[in-house]
């Protein structure tokens, strides 16, 4: 009873309408960052460092600085960027993003420590030709995690320690399993090791497992339900006292799929929360197929896509708002001009995946998530929990 009352009091304080001198408060003119703050929720974006540094693109920089309270490096904290040749670190672009965030009072999500993609060639070819042994590979991973996490200790609020370690039902074999370079060469124990090494280098950053297609539970069978597989994995890691703090749900959706409703997504976040984990949406975008009619500008095909995209952005945000352990909502790029989608999904061509168009004009999705932030409040939407990093 008392706990409920205290929580409600905090919520009421956080949700007070700000006093203004004379002028009525107009939430629609506020940034996503500011509106998210009412709930203690961070609204983030992935940042393309080339676009951020492009002097001919002032709007890009301005929107990153003003609309968001959190930033993630889209590429420059990946191993191939940080250590392109063995032993020579290229910290410049990553440092620059961390400095930018500090100047703009933003938090930083660290992305990513351990992943099978965007690894440096010296590492993958060394393993392939046998010049890097299993034992050396494990030591290289330990050193990588320790070096990177130590450098940004205290400057990064959430680290994606492990990314995309679980297979998909369309892989071979179809039974879900640990996939990719690290599982193949080190066995699945690399996951527990990585969390422990990261924790040793930063006692306070929240340590995440991050993956796609885990927005909602399916059959409940870990053989074909990826969310269940990840849930069971997290439970096992916790039982082994591995310092995992959170589950990052990437949130890469497409309007051509069935997708989920808000309650299904909220139920999944709650279930992870019940394990004592925090959660976050870490890479939200909602792509659409660019049919010939779409490319020719046919409104009858474009409008339903923009509307479905907006609805899906909104489903993930409302679910996050509804669950107090969901600490942040990050979009994977904010403008169609710089989205990774058209270059990655081209057969058939896809796009229209972000909340601003190619001319940096806010789309329906932008206004829809803004209205979610405006209309949410107690008793069902309460401030975020205070996370405690696991020792």
- Name the residues annotated as catalytic: 164, 283
Positions in 117-156 near ligand XIL (CB under 6 A)? none
Q: Are 350 and 290 in contact (CB under 8 A)?
A: yes
Residue among 75 and 262 whose Cβ is closer to ligand XIL: 75
Q: What single string gives the DSSP state of each residue in 10-60? A: HHHHHTPPPP-SSSPP-GGGS-HHHHHHTTT-EEEEEE-HHHHT-TT-HHH
Residue among 245 and 283 whose Cβ is closer to ligand XIL: 283
Residue among 340 and 366 whose Cβ is closer to ligand XIL: 340
Strands 350-351 and 278-289: antiparallel
> What gap in Å lies between CA 365 and CA 309, rounded to an integer?
7
> What gap in Å lies between CA 167 and CA 252, rounded to an integer?
16
> What gap in Å lies between CA 188 and CA 211, rounded to an integer?
16
For residue 350, state whether it binds ligand XIL (rule: CB under 6 A): no
For residue 335, state whether it binds ligand XIL (rule: CB under 6 A): no
Q: Are 362 and 355 in contact (CB under 8 A)?
A: yes
Shortest Cβ 75–ligand XIL spacing (Å)? 5
Residue among 75 and 158 whose Cβ is closer to ligand XIL: 75
Q: Are 284 and 329 in contact (CB under 8 A)?
A: yes
Positions in 271-310 near ligand XIL (CB under 6 A)? 283
For residue 354, state whether it binds ligand XIL (rule: CB under 6 A): no
> What gap in Å lies between CA 176 and CA 221, rounded to an integer?
10
Shortest Cβ 251–ligand XIL spacing (Å)? 10
Query: Residue 255 has which token pair?
Result: 């309007």
Q: Are 81 and 74 in contact (CB under 8 A)?
A: no
Positions in 31-70 near ligand XIL (CB under 6 A)? none
Residue 160: enclosing H or E segment and its boundaries?
Answer: strand 158-163
Shortest Cβ 23–ligand XIL spacing (Å)? 40
Q: Cβ contacts of residue 339 below 8 Å, gap of 6+?
A: 285, 332, 333, 351, 353, 354
The binding track of 236-255 with respect to ligand XIL, each residue x by CB under 6 A or -, is --------------x-----
> What gap in Å lies between CA 326 and CA 384, rounded to an integer?
7
Q: Tell me which residue has its CB nearest to ligand XIL.
A: 340
For residue 340, state whether it binds ligand XIL (rule: CB under 6 A): yes
For residue 163, state whether it binds ligand XIL (rule: CB under 6 A): yes
- Report residue 254: phi and psi, to 5°: -135, 145
User: Within 10 A of 284 (CB to CB), how many other CB atoms are there?
Assistant: 29
Q: Which of 45, 69, 70, 75 binds ligand XIL (CB under 6 A)?
A: 75
Shortest Cβ 285–ligand XIL spacing (Å)? 9
Shortest Cβ 340–ligand XIL spacing (Å)? 3
Residue among 250 and 330 whose Cβ is closer to ligand XIL: 250
Residue 307: enclosing H or E segment and its boundaries?
Answer: helix 299-322
**Quick one: DSSP state of residue 113?**
E
Q: Are 324 and 382 in contact (CB under 8 A)?
A: yes
Shortest Cβ 45–ligand XIL spacing (Å)? 12
> What gap in Å lies between CA 255 and CA 270, rounded to an integer?
25
Residue among 37 and 51 whose Cβ is closer to ligand XIL: 51
Shortest Cβ 19–ligand XIL spacing (Å)? 41
Residue among 262 and 332 whose Cβ is closer to ligand XIL: 332
For residue 74, state whether it binds ligand XIL (rule: CB under 6 A): yes
Shortest Cβ 2–ligand XIL spacing (Å)? 42
For residue 328, state whether it binds ligand XIL (rule: CB under 6 A): no
Residue among 133 and 346 whose Cβ is closer to ligand XIL: 346
Size of the site for ligand XIL (CB under 6 A): 6
Binding site for ligand XIL (CB under 6 A): 74-75, 163, 250, 283, 340
């Amino acid at each position: 009873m008392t706990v409920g009352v205290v929580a409600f009091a905090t919520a009421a304080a956080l949700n007070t309408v700000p006093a203004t001198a004379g002028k009525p408060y107009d939430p629609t003119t506020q940034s996503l960052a500011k509106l998210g703050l009412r709930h203690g929720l961070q609204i983030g974006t992935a940042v393309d460092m080339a676009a951020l540094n492009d002097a001919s693109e002032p709007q890009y920089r301005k929107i990153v600085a003003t609309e968001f309270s959190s930033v993630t490096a889209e590429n420059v904290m990946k191993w191939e960027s940080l250590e392109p040749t063995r032993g020579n670190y290229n910290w410049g672009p990553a440092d620059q993003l961390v400095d930018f965030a500090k100047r703009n009072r933003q938090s930083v999500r660290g992305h990513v420590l351990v992943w099978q993609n965007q690894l440096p060639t010296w590492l993958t070819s060394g393993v392939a030709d046998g010049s890097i042994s299993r034992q050396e590979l494990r030591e290289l991973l330990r050193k990588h995690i320790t070096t990177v996490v130590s450098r940004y200790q205290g400057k990064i609020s959430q680290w994606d320690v492990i990314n995309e370690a679980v297979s998909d039902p369309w892989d071979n074999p179809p039974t879900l399993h640990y996939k990719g370079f690290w599982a193949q060469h080190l066995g699945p124990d690399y996951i527990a090791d990585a969390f422990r090494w990261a924790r040793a280098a930063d006692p306070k950053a929240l340590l995440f497992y991050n993956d796609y297609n885990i927005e909602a539970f399916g059959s409940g069978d870990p053989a074909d339900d990826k969310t269940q597989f990840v849930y069971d994995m997290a439970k096992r890691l916790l039982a082994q006292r591995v310092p995992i703090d959170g589950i990052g749900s990437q949130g890469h959706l497409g309007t051509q799929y069935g997708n989920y409703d808000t309650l299904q997504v909220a139920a999944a976040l709650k279930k992870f929360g019940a394990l004592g984990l925090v959660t976050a949406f870490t890479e939200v975008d909602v792509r659409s197929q660019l049919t010939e009619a779409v490319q020719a500008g046919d409104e009858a095909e474009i409008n339903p896509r923009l509307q479905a995209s907006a609805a899906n952005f909104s489903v993930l945000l409302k679910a996050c708002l509804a669950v107090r352990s969901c600490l942040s909502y990050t979009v994977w790029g904010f403008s169609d001009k710089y989205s990774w989608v058209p270059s990655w999904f081209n057969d058939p061509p896809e796009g229209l995946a972000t909340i601003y168009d190619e001319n940096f004009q806010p789309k329906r999705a932008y206004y829809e998530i803004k209205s979610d932030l405006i209309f949410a409040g107690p008793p069902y939407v309460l401030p975020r929990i205070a996370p405690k990093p696991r020792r």
